[in-house]
């Protein structure tokens, strides 16, 4: 029995190690390519270890492009949806999980079905609305669409269903308002789910390319995804600079996972068990 258990642990560790290597090799290749010259990048000889890092790619990126402005723009359009979207998702999940109202099932199914509609299908009418509202080429054009997440509402609903109704009823008997129940009881209990929601909204907003490409009309209003993609022309591509920009754009994503790792894993695990 012990031997089989030991072999099982070894097999799991081997699989996890292989998965980690497969996931990290592209990241390593991206970082090393950002420190190579064009000749090294296009060389037929594969070099895994750098002998003379070429930091000029980063210097050229910061001095010859608007990368710093693109980075600031991306932060500006990402932070509000993470904060507002997580709160609204929790509020919506609480309503669907703990209240009964007319049309609840239809509304909830409509929210879920909206996930199956590709973003490129809705971008034309959304663009038309934003033109009429004079929001094109403004931060609001990217903040508003990402401030509501159907997937986060679903996850919150499934998580909040696991909160016993007796706790909420006791609070009502003590005279607590409905919003007070949500703020003082529900929110502290769903922090892991909030972390999952925050990470999902962050990734969706930070990595979005289609909406910024359509909504932002000037070079100064571009975000990282559009700006870095614009470094590639039809006749010439400075892959060292592109990889440098991609490497820098990846750092906030990694930091987000590091900071939210514990809560994120707890939220996914609890959500799976309660669902």
Distance between CA atoms of 11 and 17, rounded to whole angstroms?
A: 10
At residue 78, what are phi and psi to the nearest 5 degrees? -100, -40
What's the first-to-final CA gap in the chain, in angstroms? Answer: 33
Distance between CA atoms of 189 and 212, rounded to whole angstroms?
A: 35
pLDDT, tens digit, for every residue of 123-151?
889 999 999 999 999 999 999 989 888 88
Mean pLDDT of 91-114: 90
- pLDDT-above-70 percentage for the chain: 93
pLDDT, tens digit, for every residue of 65-95?
999 999 999 999 999 999 999 999 999 999 9
pLDDT, tens digit, for every residue of 227-247?
998 887 656 778 889 999 999
CB 268 within 8 A of CB 196: yes
- pLDDT-above-90 percentage for the chain: 35
Q: What pLDDT shows up at residue 2? A: 67
Question: Which stretches of the chain are DSSP H helices?
Answer: 2-33, 38-41, 56-64, 67-98, 104-113, 119-132, 140-146, 150-160, 165-173, 178-181, 187-189, 191-206, 210-215, 224-229, 239-274
Q: Could you tell me which CATH class the domain 55-274 is placed in?
A: mainly alpha
In the structure, what pLDDT confidence band is assigned to residue 272 with cuts at 50, 70 and 90?
Answer: very low
pLDDT, tens digit, for every residue of 205-216?
999 999 999 999
């Amino acid at each position: 029995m012990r031997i089989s258990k030991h072999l099982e642990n070894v097999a799991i560790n081997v699989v996890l190690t292989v998965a980690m290597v497969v996931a990290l090799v592209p990241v390593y290749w991206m970082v090393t390519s950002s420190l190579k010259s064009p000749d090294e990048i296009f060389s037929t000889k594969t070099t895994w270890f750098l002998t003379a890092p070429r930091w000029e790619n980063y210097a050229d990126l910061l001095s010859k492009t608007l990368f710093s402005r693109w980075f600031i723009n991306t932060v500006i359009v990402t932070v509000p949806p993470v904060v507002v979207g997580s709160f609204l998702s929790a509020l919506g999940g609480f309503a669907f999980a703990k209240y009964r109202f007319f049309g609840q099932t239809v509304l909830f199914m409509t929210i879920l079905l909206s996930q199956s509609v590709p973003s490129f299908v809705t971008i034309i009418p959304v663009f038309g609305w934003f033109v009429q509202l004079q929001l094109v080429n403004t931060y609001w054009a990217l903040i508003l669409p990402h401030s509501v997440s159907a997937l986060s509402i679903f996850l919150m609903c499934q998580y909040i269903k696991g909160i016993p109704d007796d706790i909420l009823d006791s609070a009502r008997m003590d005279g607590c308002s409905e919003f007070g129940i949500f703020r003082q009881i529900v929110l502290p209990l769903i922090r892991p789910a909030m972390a999952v929601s925050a990470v999902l909204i962050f990734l969706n907003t930070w990595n979005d390319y289609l909406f910024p490409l359509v909504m932002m009309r000037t070079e100064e209003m571009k975000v990282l995804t559009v700006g870095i993609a614009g470094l590639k022309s039809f006749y010439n591509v400075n892959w060292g600079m592109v990889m440098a920009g991609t490497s820098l754009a990846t750092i906030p994503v990694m930091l987000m996972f590091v900071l939210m790792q514990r809560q994120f894993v707890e939220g996914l695990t609890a959500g799976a068990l309660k669902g």
